[in-house]
Amino acid sequence: MGLRRWSWDAAAGPAALGDRPLLAALLTVLPDAVVEAAIDATRTRERRRRRLPTHLVVTLVVAMGLWAAEPMRQALASVVDGWRESVGARRTGWRLPCTAAIVRARRRAGARLLRVLFHAVAGPIATAGTPGAFLHGLRLMAVDGTTLEVADTPANVRAFGRPRARRGTTAYPQLRVVAVIETGTHALCDVIVRPCRAAEAPAGRRLVRAVGPGILLLWDRNFHSFEMIRATQARGAQFLGRTKVNLVFEPTAELRDGSFLAAVYPTPYDRVRCRGGIPVRVIEYALDPPVGTGPERYRLLTSLLDERAFPAAGLAAAYHERWEVETALDELKVHQWAHPRPLRSQHPREVIQELYGLLVAHLAIRTLMHQAAQREGLDPDRLSFAGALRVLRRAIPRAQRTWPARASCLHEQLLTELLAERLPPRRFRQNPRGVKRKMSKYLLKAPRCTAPPTSPAPRVFPAIRILGP
């Protein structure tokens, strides 16, 4: 991401930030042309020479997503360190602005600029050779939501609200983020931001706009509805989702792999009249892990009706790729953003701006990780996100001190460092829904859940037993 070149005039005061990009390490992810197009589309370009031009504000907000634990002024200092050493702050006359000037510059840029920039670069990035990104030619994508805490100010409380707890309300206001990701790369494809008390299911139905033909959308039982199924099929996409146990499905045909065909209806009255139904395939199965608390039953609905092309056991195993969206949200909240610290912005518009900067930074990290994994045909899941974040923080000032002619060599060196942040093969993980924490809505873990397993954790997927109708 480069900055517009400004000539320095001693009479006019400091105005230059050099002629090389500040985020050269992210140039393949956030090209200058995309940033400039977003600035022009939102009409946020500055009309006079400023110490913090709009392009630098975009750089700052993305840097706030990379140095999330640092104050705004320190994040700006981190992102310009290499430039100040290579160009020289004395020669250009540029000085680090105060916090009040940074806040005013962020308000001039607004939140729409970062939202337009995110949607310009967001989308699936996996190629046909990316391991684990496709199922029989269908690109795997998943939808889920989470909440983020924001600064406790009256404006944020009015805009986002506080969730209710057993003993009143929570300490901080929260906003709700519902996202669609590509499971093979953890790349964010689309997001919707709502107040904390807004339900996830309506936002999930709107996010169907991010899918299309050749995509298999995975969702949890909270997102299941007739409207969700109809909206997904209207986009030409396939779906594989979990349903609640209290729903009734009458088999219309039993298949040889243990699954059966049924239909979903808009209302119970339509089900009685057999009117307006959508044919689906129902898969019921249980997991029998070698160690743990016992089998867990699942019921899935899918639009893939051919049991020969898509066997039930294969779809049951593919459904558990939905947990990749949980991992992606964990990367965003825990590793990239120092949760449980709230977002630093004091006003709702700056909160949305900071959130989209966080999302753009996550997408940039994941895109570089995919590029690195693609060099060796490696699954992107085998690379450490936390390690990649640390590598990128070191690479940004180093890229600013490098001559532009060596930019390609620097990019190859960055990918090599990312490949060195390799994780061991992922083992099968199972954790009962019991949280050992005071004032939790879950019961305390039973004694058999707290004791560690006596045998080593298995590295294979547990046995899947198709139960049938």
Q: Does one domain contain both 133 and 235?
A: yes
Q: Would you give per-residue pLDDT tens digits along the chain (469 residues)?
A: 444 433 333 333 334 554 446 787 788 888 888 999 999 999 999 888 888 889 999 999 999 999 988 889 999 988 888 777 766 544 556 788 999 999 999 999 999 999 999 999 999 999 999 999 999 999 999 999 999 999 999 999 999 999 887 767 788 999 999 999 999 999 999 999 999 999 999 999 999 999 999 999 999 999 999 999 999 999 999 999 999 888 889 999 999 999 999 999 998 888 888 888 999 999 999 887 655 556 678 999 999 999 999 999 999 999 999 999 999 999 999 899 877 789 999 999 999 999 999 999 999 999 999 999 999 999 999 999 999 999 999 988 888 877 766 777 888 899 999 999 999 887 665 555 555 455 555 555 555 554 444 555 555 667 788 887 7
Helices (H) and strands (E) in the chain, counts: 16, 13
Q: Does one domain contain both 300 and 403?
A: no
Q: Does one domain contain both 267 and 130?
A: yes
At residue 219, φ and ψ (nearest 5 deg) are -145, 160
39 belongs to a structural domain? yes
Q: Using CA atoms, how far apart are residues 144 and 334, in angstroms rounded to an integer?
A: 17
Least Cα distance to 237 among 246, 225, 229 occurs for 229
DSSP result, 258-301 = S-EEEEE-SSHHHHHHT-S-EEEEEEEEEEE-SSSS--EEEEEE
Q: Does one domain contain both 110 and 132?
A: no
Q: Does one domain contain both 282 and 403?
A: no
Q: Does one domain contain both 96 and 175?
A: no
Question: CB of 351 within 8 A of CB of 150?
Answer: yes
At residue 153, φ and ψ (nearest 5 deg) are -125, 155
Q: Does one domain contain both 157 and 305?
A: yes
Report the number of distinct structural domains present in the chain: 2
455 belongs to a structural domain? no
> How many C-beta atoms surround the C-beta of residue 17 within 10 A?
26
Q: Does one domain contain both 217 and 81?
A: no
Q: Using CA atoms, how far apart are residues 138 and 450, in angstroms rounded to an integer?
A: 39
Burial 149-176 (b: 16+ CB within 10 A, else e): bbbebebbbebbbbbeeeeeeeebbbbb
Q: Does one domain contain both 141 and 171?
A: yes
> How many C-beta atoms surround the C-beta of residue 458 within 10 A?
14
174 belongs to a structural domain? yes
Least Cα distance to 179 among 39, 366, 40, 345 occurs for 366
Q: Does one domain contain both 78 and 172?
A: no
Residues 6+ apart with CB under 8 A from 444: 434, 436
Model confidence, pTM: 0.87
Domain hosting 415: range is 1-121+384-420
Q: Does one domain contain both 232 and 311?
A: yes
